[in-house]
Structure 1
Amino acid sequence: MTSLFTQEIHLSKRHDKIVSQRLILLQQMEDKLGGQNKEKASQMQAAETAFKRNLSLLKEKKEPAKEKEVGVREDIEAAEKSLQTRIHPLPRPEVVSLETLYWASVEEYIPKWEQFLLGRAPYPIGVENQNEAENTIQKEAQ
C-alpha cells in the first residue's frame, strides 16, 4: 500500500512538472505566432508601398536616373531585410528533448487509461487508495 502512495505522489509530481513545461511551450508557441503575424503585416505593408511606388512610376513619363536608382536600392535593401527575417533557427535541444519525453510518457500510459476511459476497466492507479493518496499529497504540500 505504501508503495502505491509513493508511486501516486511521484506520478503527481511528474504530472505537475510536465504540465508546467507544457504551459511554457504553449506560451512560446503563442509568442512565435505573434511574431509571425507581425512579420506578415510588415511584408504586406512593404508590398503595398512597392505597389504604390511602381504605380506612380508607370504614371510618370520620364524620371531622372538618380531617382530610379534610389527606388531600386530601396527595393534591394527591403528584399535583404525580408530574407534575413525569414531565417528561423531550429528549436532548442531542450525543447526537442522535452517534447520527446512528454510524448513517450503519454504513449506509455495510453494503454492503461484507454480501457478505463472506455469503461472496460477500473481506475488504473487504484481507486481504493485514491482518497488516501490525495490526503498524503495535501499533507506534503503543507
Structure 2
Amino acid sequence: MTSLFTQEIHLSKRHDEIVSQRLILLQQMEDKLGGQNKEKASQMQAAETAFKRNLSLLKDIEAAEKSLQTRIHPLPRPEVVSLETLYWASVEEYIPKWEQFLLGRAPYPIGVENQNEAENTIQKEAQR
C-alpha cells in the first residue's frame, strides 16, 4: 500500500512538473506570437510608409518630366496649331484619292496635266 501511495505521490509530482512545463511552453509560444505580430505590424507600417514615399517620388518625377517637356517642346503658337489642323484635315480628305491612285485603281488625283509627270516619276522609281 505504501508502494502505491509512493507511486501516487511520484506521479502527482510528475504531473505537476508536466503541467508546469506546459504552462512555460504556452507562455513562450504566446510571447513569440506576440513578437511576430509586432514585427509583422512594424513591417506593414514600413511597407505603407515606403509606398507613400514612392508615390510621392513618382509624382515629383512626373511633375519634373512635364516641366522639362514644356521647356524642350514649348507649346506652338495658335496660328501654327490652326495651320496644322487645316493641313491634317486636307491630308485626311485626299487620302482615299491618293490611296486608290497608288494602288493602281484610279487616275492621278490632282489633274490630267500632271498625270504624265507622275507616271514618269513612278516609272523612274520602279527602274531604280
TM-score by length of 2: 0.45
Structure 2 vs 1, CA of residues 83 and 36 (structure 1 numbering), >3 Å: closer, same or farther?
Answer: farther
CA distance in 2, matches of 1:30, 1:36: 10
Q: CA deviation at 1:40?
A: 0.2
Match of 1:8 in 2: 8
Instruction: Check the 8 A contact 1:113/1:124 in 2, yes or no.
Output: yes
Match of 1:127 in 2: 112
Q: CA deviation at 1:5?
A: 0.7
Instruction: Check the 8 A contact 2:108/2:115 in 1, yes or no.
Output: no
Q: Which has the higher contact order (CA 8 A, sep 6+)?
A: 1
Compute the RMSD of aligned alpha carbons. 42.5
Instruction: Check the 8 A contact 1:9/1:137 in 2, yes or no.
Output: no
TM-score by length of 1: 0.40
Q: CA deviation at 1:115?
A: 98
Instruction: Check the 8 A contact 1:112/1:124 in 2, yes or no.
Output: yes
Gaps of 5+ in 1: 59-73
Structure 2 vs 1, CA of residues 90 and 116 (structure 1 numbering), >3 Å: closer, same or farther?
Answer: same
Number of aligned residues:
127
Q: CA deviation at 1:2?
A: 1.5
Q: Which runs of 4+ in 1 moved over 4 A?
A: 74-142
Instruction: Check the 8 A contact 1:8/1:125 in 2, yes or no.
Output: no
Gaps of 5+ in 2: none
Local SS of the residue matching 2:6: helix
Task: Percent identity, please.
Answer: 98
Structure 2 vs 1, CA of residues 86 and 115 (structure 1 numbering), >3 Å: closer, same or farther?
Answer: closer
Structure 2 vs 1, CA of residues 99 and 14 (structure 1 numbering), >3 Å: closer, same or farther?
Answer: farther
Q: Deviations over 1:22-68 (max 9, x none)?
A: 1111111100000000000000000000100110111xxxxxxxxxx
Q: CA deviation at 1:89?
A: 62
CA distance in 2, matches of 1:94, 1:8: 107
